[in-house]
Amino acid sequence: MSHIDDAELCALSPDTWLVTGTPGLCGGGITQPSSPRCPNHAAWGIYGYQHGYCTTHAAKHLRAKGNLARMQADAEVRRAKQSGASL
């Protein structure tokens, strides 16, 4: 499996858009008080998220979202197999 870099992932994702105009600061670190806020400018918006994110943080959110979707799909398959086996 080939690795896709952060910028390409953000550019190709249907869940993001490029921030135009004057970007604010990245939303990375806002929900983690023990971590410093990311000093980079927001380059990407992500549908369903309140803040814009730098490329690195946007890619982290997209990868986490993809992992969650895969885990949910795997769980559904396991449940379907289990319910089919009990019939």
- Cα angle 59, 62, 63; round to 5: 85
Asked whether residue 72 is assigned to any structural domain, the reply reads yes
Tell whether 25 is covered by a domain: yes
- How much is the pLDDT for 29? 66
HEC letters along 35-64: CCCCCCECCEEECCCCCCECHHHHHHHHHH
Q: Residue 51's pLDDT is what?
A: 86
Q: Which residue has the higher pLDDT, 44 or 83?
A: 44
Tell me what pLDDT residue 78 has. Answer: 87
> Tens digits of per-residue pLDDT, 1-14?
468 899 999 999 99
Q: Is 63 inside a domain boundary?
A: yes
Is pLDDT at 17 greater than 90 in this prediction? yes
2 inside domain: no
pLDDT at 18 over 90: yes
**Number of structural domains the chain divides into:** 1
Q: Domain range holding 55?
A: 8-85
User: In this structure, is residue 1 part of a structural domain?
Assistant: no
Please report the pLDDT score of residue 67 as a whole number: 81
